[in-house]
Amino acid sequence: MESIETIKRDLFENICTLEFTKKNGETRKLIGTTNMDYIVGTGLQEAKTEETRVYTKKNPNNISVFDVEKKAWRSFNYDSLESFYTGLAVSVPVYEGEEKGV
């Protein structure tokens, strides 16, 4: 498995596909990124506002990522990661009706 630093870098540079085990034991597939080029235009650029921020003890193994299919921020624990690869499992539009960078 890639290091946590490599995964964070890949998520910052690309859209990635990953699978992890949720706290309830279910496996979850997620297609996501932290690259703002794919997030700007969704209205969800901010991970959490002051009103919605949940205060918890910061765990350095938790990674926040924007789920491009659900158009929402999600997080997972690095230790629960089952698979990770750079790329898409399905075609995901960058913007509704627009091209990236336009």
**Could you read off the pLDDT of 48-82 as tens digits, one per residue?**
444 444 445 678 899 999 999 998 889 999 999 99
Residue 36 has pLDDT above 60, yes or no: yes
> In angstroms, rounded to a whole number, what is the distance separating the alpha carbons of residues 47 and 72?
9
- The domain defined by 4-86 carries CATH number 2.20.25: no
Residue 17 has pLDDT above 90, yes or no: yes
Cβ-based neighbour number of residue 8 at 10 Å: 16
> In angstroms, rounded to a whole number, what is the distance separating the alpha carbons of residues 63 and 42?
20
* pLDDT category of residue 93 using cuts at 50, 70 and 90: very low
| Mean pLDDT, rounded, for 32-53 | 65
Strand runs labelled E in the chain: 16-21, 27-33, 62-67, 72-77, 81-86
pLDDT > 70: what percent of the chain?
Answer: 69
The two three-digit tokens of residue 41, written as one number:
């235009």
- Quote the pTM value: 0.71
Which pLDDT value is given to residue 37? 86
The domain segmentation of the chain, as residue ranges, is 4-86
Which pLDDT value is given to residue 74? 92
Of 90, 48, 97, nearest to 68 by C-alpha is 90
Q: What are phi and psi of 39, to 5 degrees?
A: -105, -35
